[in-house]
Structure 1
Amino acid sequence: MINYIKLKNFKCFENEQIKLSKSTLLLGVNSGGKSSLIQSLLLFNSSIFNLQDKDISSLDLINNKYNLNLYSFDEILNNKYDDDFFEISIFNGNEETKIEYTPTDDNNIIDLNIDTNTNMEPLDIIYLGAERSITSFQRNGNINNIELGRNNEYIGYIIEKGKKRAVKAYEDRNHWTFKDTALFDFQVNKWLDYILPSNKVSASSIGIDNYISLTFGEKLNLHQTNIGYGVSFILPIIVGGLIAKPESILIVENPELHLHPSAQSKIAEFLGLISMAGVQVIVETHSEHVVNGFRKSVLNKEHPLQNVDLVINYFDNDGSCEIKRIELNERAEIKYWPKGFMDQEEKDLFEMRKMRLGIQ
């Protein structure tokens, strides 16, 4: 598990060490650095992948794996200082791996210096960005190397093959909500129906080579445009969480998209369970319902998540990215409320009260 990420001269970060845990929530103002933190982790991992292939020279190559959209060195470098390098360090227990990036004459070409006392292997990361969705017809994949695909194009294949396969992180059933069976397709549909009631999905091979058909509902084979944005955006999270292996990392941006508040709270419950099955979960969110879903899980005696397993990082941008760690006690109460953190409802209600009283 990654305990800390340290960023130096990376985008808005001057020299920041960010705490992570089994479940980590990233909240805060727009352009506060939440997405930049995720980008740094993906850039680090992509660099390790390309080092294995002996080709790390171009930002284009590093961008490819996760669609990072980092086009020039100047775009990444913190522009407050004259330094011509940035660093990303990963702390895993007592081990630190640091990569220093420096530009060459071409602003798109970089040199790397990796500093580690271990044989660094790429991290096993499942990344679900905010622009996720699914299509009715899915490509076949490789059963020995299961991935969602860059555009979630293998979800149907994973569900179809999961009819006879158990969820990998399903060793302790006492921690799971649905204990009947560990079979993958059963767990997918139980969670889908729990989060979005009366929804169901199945997958089957069709005559067209290399394609899988997704069926939504009991009988109708619905086109993706007719299944609703909620299902389309939540299914990759459920499938991604259930295929994640222990010691892997699941990154989810805005899990609340297109979801009713109740569903937002329930997806937090699901992600909290995944994190306690050995998968490190990192969530970027603007939703109070997601935050409170995690807090409620801490209080739920039947849920394994504890307050010490959850880190909430609040990002502020007052000229530079500043991160405030928000801690919970055993009662899931927030010890310190920074200005701007989950206070908009209170502000709006106060303003409405003044308007009713005719106070300007």
Structure 2
Amino acid sequence: MIDRVEIKNFKSIRDMELNFTNFNLITGTNSSGKSSLIQSLLVMSQRNEDDILNGKAISLGTPINIINEGVGKGESAKISLYMEDGTELECSVSAEEQVGNRERETRSFFYEKDVFYISANRASVMDTYPKNIEHNQKIGKNGSYTFDYFLENKDKKFSEKYYEDLLPFNEKPIYESIVNYWLKKLTGYIFDVEHIVDTNVIRVLFNKEFEYSIKYRPQHVGTGVSYILEQLIISLLSKEGDIIIVENPELHLHPKAQNELAEFYFWLSKHNRQIIIETHSDHFFNAVRVTKSQDPTDNSKKVYFFYQEDGNTTSINIEMGKFGTIENMQEELFDQFSKDLRKMLLNVEDDSTFDHQAVEEDTLSDEEFALLNKEFEEL
């Protein structure tokens, strides 16, 4: 796992140091540098490829595309990773030298630990999906071979400790059963895949797991179901110590499903997977707050808020109190609901008990605002 990352002069990140834990939530305003952080990690995952900037995980173009605009001549973009086991990995890129200061490793990224990347640019929902004919990578960019990889590995066995906490789990401890367990828990559906004979195509079908249930093609169950399934398939391929990077897991999902998907990633992180999620979902954010309120001593989750200042990315470690309260609230940190509610409160009739002046001047404390919100809901 990554213990700490240091980034200098990479895109909008001039100088940043982040400490990571099991579950890491990255959020912030648009174009604030969240994706730049993810891209820096993916660049490091391509250390063994001939072109470190343009590999199987991500393509970023030439060095000039990734070097911070404010750097002086001769300065480099530099990424340093400090691993939990004491390993240090480093890479620097300059416009003049191209890629330098990089030792090729005989073993894979982070000493045989894999990185699973679920991009926001995912394969579209289709009735059939292509097989991976070349077999030069597991999943493919944008998850293009997700279902083919599942078909090849669906009978893979898992160790007992991996599923012992999944309620009474009566099915075989195999990959297919665990994926379907979580899919049913999150969506109510289970699924199956099959290779269409004499083709290079795979068919995916969903059903409700009861007698005479109709089998549905992906386009008839809603985009969110397929998007959840792709995340489950890829994430559950991971081994202990692996790193799972997910962009916008909330796409096409109802708030309840977003919250339950967050619970899935919490479960994975508890089983020694490192989760790094970039999101705009307040439901993922609030799910972290709930866990903090349930166990104030839990330090296995971190939230970083990104914003830009003078064209460069700044990050803030969001601190939470024992009840899930935000100790260092930031402007634009999921505060739009509160802003809109204040506007609604100002429209309440004058004969109400609301302190309109306090609402308008935004001088209410969080406790006063919560009580006012409750009274407003009871009108």
Q: Displacement of 1:347 after TM fit? A: 0.8
SS of 1:135 mapped into structure 2:
coil
Q: Displacement of 1:102 after TM fit? A: 1.6
Provide the residue aligned with 1:22 in structure 2: 22
Provide the residue aligned with 1:233 in structure 2: 227
SS of 2:143 mapped into structure 1:
coil
Provide the residue aligned with 2:83 in structure 1: 92
Letter in 2 for 1:345: F
Letter in 1 for 2:89: T
Provide the rounded CA distance (Å) in 2 between the counterparts of 1:79 and 1:253. Answer: 25
Question: How well do the aligned residues superpose, as a CA RMSD in angstroms?
Answer: 2.9
Q: Displacement of 1:24 after TM fit? A: 0.3
Tell me: CA distance 1:173–1:193, structure 2 relative to 1, closer, same or farther (3 Å).
closer
Letter in 1 for 2:249: P
Letter in 1 for 2:115: I
Contact preservation (8 Å) 1:101, 1:112 = yes
Alignment match of 1:207 (pick from 169, 178, 197): 197
Letter in 1 for 2:304: N
Q: Displacement of 1:257 after TM fit? A: 0.8
Provide the rounded CA distance (Å) in 2 between the counterparts of 1:178 and 1:251. Answer: 30
Deviations 1:225-277 (A, max 9, x none): 33311112111111111111111111111111110000000000001111111
Provide the residue aligned with 1:101 in structure 2: 93
Contact preservation (8 Å) 1:135, 1:153 = no
**Structure 1 residues 154-163 or 21-30, which shifts more?**
154-163
The yes-or-no answer on 1:347 pairing with 2:375 is no
**Structure 1 residues 226-235 or 263-272, which shifts more?**
226-235
Q: Displacement of 1:205 after TM fit? A: 2.2
**Structure 1 residues 224-233 or 330-339, which shifts more?**
330-339
Q: Displacement of 1:163 after TM fit? A: 4.3
Provide the residue aligned with 2:187 in structure 1: 196
Contact preservation (8 Å) 2:130, 2:200 = yes
Contact preservation (8 Å) 2:118, 2:142 = no
Q: Displacement of 1:5 after TM fit? A: 1.1
Q: Displacement of 1:281 after TM fit? A: 0.5
Contact preservation (8 Å) 2:56, 2:140 = no
Alignment match of 2:238 (pick from 240, 244, 253): 244
Provide the rounded CA distance (Å) in 2 between the counterparts of 1:330 and 1:148. Answer: 40
Structure 1 unmatched ranges of 5 or more: none
Provide the rounded CA distance (Å) in 1 between the counterparts of 2:241 and 2:132. Answer: 23
Contact preservation (8 Å) 2:118, 2:245 = yes
Letter in 2 for 1:171: K
Provide the rounded CA distance (Å) in 2 between the counterparts of 1:200 and 1:32. Answer: 38
**Structure 1 residues 349-358 or 126-135, which shifts more?**
349-358
Provide the rounded CA distance (Å) in 1 between the counterparts of 2:322 and 2:167. Answer: 22
Q: Displacement of 1:31 after TM fit? A: 0.9
Percent identity (aligned): 27
Provide the residue aligned with 1:49 in structure 2: 48
Provide the rounded CA distance (Å) in 2 between the counterparts of 1:111 and 1:193. Answer: 46
Tell me: CA distance 1:129–1:227, structure 2 relative to 1, closer, same or farther (3 Å).
same
Provide the rounded CA distance (Å) in 2 between the counterparts of 1:338 and 1:42. Answer: 28
Q: Displacement of 1:141 after TM fit? A: 5.0
Provide the residue aligned with 1:261 in structure 2: 255
TM-score after normalising by structure 1: 0.84
Provide the rounded CA distance (Å) in 2 between the counterparts of 1:217 and 1:153. Answer: 23
Task: Give the alignment of 1:1-360 within 5 angstroms.
Answer: 1-46=1-46, 48-50=47-49, 55-56=50-51, 62-68=53-59, 70-83=60-73, 84-93=75-84, 94-104=86-96, 110-114=98-102, 121-123=108-110, 124-133=114-123, 134-141=125-132, 147-167=138-158, 171-177=161-167, 179-181=169-171, 182-197=173-188, 199-217=189-207, 220=214, 222-298=216-292, 307-319=298-310, 320-356=312-348
**Structure 1 residues 77-86 or 118-127, which shifts more?**
118-127
Q: Displacement of 1:176 after TM fit? A: 3.5
SS of 2:345 mapped into structure 1:
helix
Q: Displacement of 1:357 after TM fit? A: 5.1
Contact preservation (8 Å) 2:244, 2:276 = yes
SS of 2:327 mapped into structure 1:
coil
**Structure 1 residues 254-263 or 133-142, which shifts more?**
133-142
Deviations 1:201-225 (A, max 9, x none): 1112221333322112256554443
Tell me: CA distance 1:273–1:150, structure 2 relative to 1, closer, same or farther (3 Å).
same
